[in-house]
Amino acid sequence: DGGITQSPKYLFRKEGQNVTLSCEQNLNHDAMYWYRQDPGQGLRLIYYSQIVNDFQKGDIAEGYSVSREKKESFPLTVTSAQKNPTAFYLCASLNIGAGFSTQHFGDGTRLSIL
């Protein structure tokens, strides 16, 4: 079955360290997204990519970076510039041409600062 794989499920980071969250999809979706969830808040868009080698900032991109070298992969790096990185991170994908019913979500990565 096709889907989105996020790894790891739990991640711990020391202050000042960069850390990369993995997101892989085998759905052949062109668009991929990273969202962040904080307690009591709705998920917010960090970065998105609609095509390989191109990506756009979302609403809360500061302190994060992404790459889209392959269609199936959209890793998110949380840099030391992100002052409050502890959160739940969710990756999603969509086949834009096929409609919104193709929206898929990963199982998420929970990042904590030691």
Partner 1 sequence: KNEVEQSPQNLTAQEGEFITINCSYSVGISALHWLQQHPGGGIVSLFMLSSGKKKHGRLIATINIQEKHSSLHITASHPRDSAVYICAVHYNTDKLIFGTGTRLQVFP
Q: Which residues bind partner 1 (CB under 8 A)?
A: 9, 31, 33, 35, 40-45, 48, 50, 58, 88, 90, 92, 94, 96, 100-101, 103-108, 110
Nearer to partner 1, 71 or 104 (CB): 104
Nearer to partner 1, 41 or 84 (CB): 41
Nearer to partner 1, 9 or 70 (CB): 9
Nearer to partner 1, 67 or 105 (CB): 105
3-state secondary structure the chain: CCCEEEECCEEEECCCCCEEEEEEECCCCCEEEEEEECCCCCCEEEEEEEECCEEEECCCCCCEEECCCECCECCEEECCCCCCCCEEEEEEEECHHHCHHHCEECCCEEEEEC
Taking the complex as a whole, how short is the minimal distance between the CB of residue 2 and partner 1, in angstroms?
14
- Tokens 């969250």 correspond to 21
Taking the complex as a whole, how short is the minimal distance between the CB of residue 40 and partner 1, in angstroms?
7
Distance separating alpha carbons of residues 89 and 75, to the nearest angstrom = 11
Taking the complex as a whole, how short is the minimal distance between the CB of residue 16 and partner 1, in angstroms?
26
Taking the complex as a whole, how short is the minimal distance between the CB of residue 57 and partner 1, in angstroms?
12
